[in-house]
Amino acid sequence: MANYRDKRPQKKQWNRQAPVLLDTSQRPLDLVEDGASLPVIQIDTDFPHPNVFRKRVRNIPGNVKPGDLVAVAHLDGRHLGYGYFNPSAGVGLRFIRWGTEPPNSPFWDQLLDSAVAFRHETLKLNDVTNACRLIHAEGDFLPGIVVDRYNDVLSLEAYSLAMFQRAQSIAERLAAICGTEHWIVKPSPQSETQEGFSAPVISSQNLPRTTTIHEYGTRFRISFSEGHKTGFFCDQRENRLKFAKFCDGKSVADVCCYTGGFAIQAKTSGNAAEVTGVELDENPLQLAKANANLNQARVNFVQADAFAWMRDMVRNSRQFDVLALDPPKLIHSREEIEEGRRTHFDLNRLALQLVRPGGLMVTFTCAGLLTSEEFDKLVRSAARQAGPPIPGTESDENPRRLPREIQIFDRTGAASDHPVAGSCPESEYLRALWLRVL
């Protein structure tokens, strides 16, 4: 049986030959004192957005290499700022600094110091966890890269060629600010199709294979060789704690549980009576089991496709008091929107059938291209087909169903260390709907 990951369409290919051509060797950060020395490219827009599509870029000097820092001007000659250019990428230009001052050493010091201070001094995350997002790409005015701190390790994921080329320099500067010892840099899984480069993972010497972090008293082990993205989903920290508050004495299901975040918090912080975690991929599931043992939490983990498992539960009339549905990203480009909507709809339609009357469900999407309004509409539509079978169709393989009433009582998003820049509102990617299912 095909699973929901198989249903995702093929992503658009920008440049299939580029990965063997682009230089991915590490560069130092650009500490430019005089912007007049930089090559100038022009763009046909002055809309204040950090990312400029390749089709908007004009008049490229012949000496500009992929990943180079350039001065940026409008076609009418006005100077706009400075950015990194990659002709092989759909987003051909990423602004790093607006205005006349180039990205000099004080600029980099202020940018990185400010990002760390926001997490440590303003949000005071050190009081509740030793894992957080330190750099959130456009949200921290550094497009093309994210940086998470896990205990004594900085984990970086580069979405752009220029940021991958400078990732080691960024890691070393951040380590000096935070007092961490190790770092690891991974290219984004979409770097080849969207940026036109492939590159190996790089890391500091003697990087540990794993480390252990804690949030709100619950511990999780991070594997740097097996984890997706940077290794853990810090963006769900506050949602995991909120979810746990509804679980006291309840039966709980965590569908698409990855390394067990919601399931384990439900047991340790939430005192759930019984918890089931469902995950298709073996490596994160093994880590989920290890995390449960680390916390002496009894969780029933099942390796299964979410669709197949939920259909089995529906056939067996199995329901839960509280359920979390947190699938991986299902929409990576505009070409995938329709297929991604259908997959989200099918997942939610099945999940809603597994919640007892009066029970609670939280459902997520991390597809930034799916707006809040669209996600709301999708879940409401799924509820209209998630009730009991219409009499006379119960024996059908796919019986017609009555609607199920839901109450949306909250909407949340990513944790507070994942800020959204006012100039890039579409980077607000994580959406959660909290439902009472009647």
CATH number at residue 362: 3.40.50.150
Q: Does residue 318 sit in the same domain as residue 355?
A: yes
d(CA 254, CA 265): 11
Beta-ladder partners of 72:
41, 81
Q: What is the pTM of this model?
A: 0.90
Of 98, 128, 152, which residue sits at a domain end?
98
Q: Other CB atoms closer than 10 Å to residue 32's CB: what's the count? A: 19
Domain for residue 146, yes or no?
Answer: yes
Q: Does residue 186 sit in the same domain as residue 331?
A: no
Q: Does residue 132 sit in the same domain as residue 250?
A: no
Q: Does residue 116 sit in the same domain as residue 140?
A: yes
Sign of CA dihedral 380, 381, 382, 388: positive
Q: Does residue 421 sit in the same domain as residue 280?
A: yes
Q: Evaluate whether 117 touches 178 at the Cβ level (below 8 Å).
A: no
pLDDT at 399 > cutoff 80: no
Q: Does residue 248 sit in the same domain as residue 325?
A: yes
Quick one: which of 328, 343, 283, 314 has its CA closest to 404?
314
Q: Indicate the residue type of 49.
A: H
Task: Give residue-wise pLDDT tens across range 238-250.
Answer: 999 999 999 999 9
Of 169, 189, 206, which residue sits at a domain end?
206
Q: How confident is the model at residue 15 (pLDDT cuts 50, 70, 90)?
A: very low
Give the whole-number percent of the chain exceeding pLDDT 70.
93
Domain that holds residue 146: 105-206
Domain for residue 19, yes or no?
Answer: no
- Phi then psi for residue 322, to 5 deg, are -140, 135
Q: Does residue 170 sit in the same domain as residue 312?
A: no
Q: Other CB atoms closer than 10 Å to residue 337's CB: what's the count? A: 17
Q: Does residue 286 sit in the same domain as residue 427?
A: yes
Helix (H, G, I), strand (E, B) or coil at 268: helix
Q: How confident is the model at residue 225 (pLDDT cuts 50, 70, 90)?
A: confident
pLDDT at site 387: 81
**Number of domains, the chain:** 3
Q: Does residue 112 sit in the same domain as residue 79?
A: no
Domain for residue 328, yes or no?
Answer: yes
Residue with tokens 């706009």: 80
Q: Evaluate whether 288 touches 257 at the Cβ level (below 8 Å).
A: yes
Of 171, 206, 241, which residue sits at a domain end?
206
Q: Indicate the residue type of 238.
A: E
Q: Does residue 349 sit in the same domain as residue 393?
A: yes
Strand (E) positions, 13-78?
40-43, 51-53, 57-58, 69-74
d(CA 185, CA 188): 10
Residue with tokens 């909290």: 434
d(CA 117, CA 155): 18
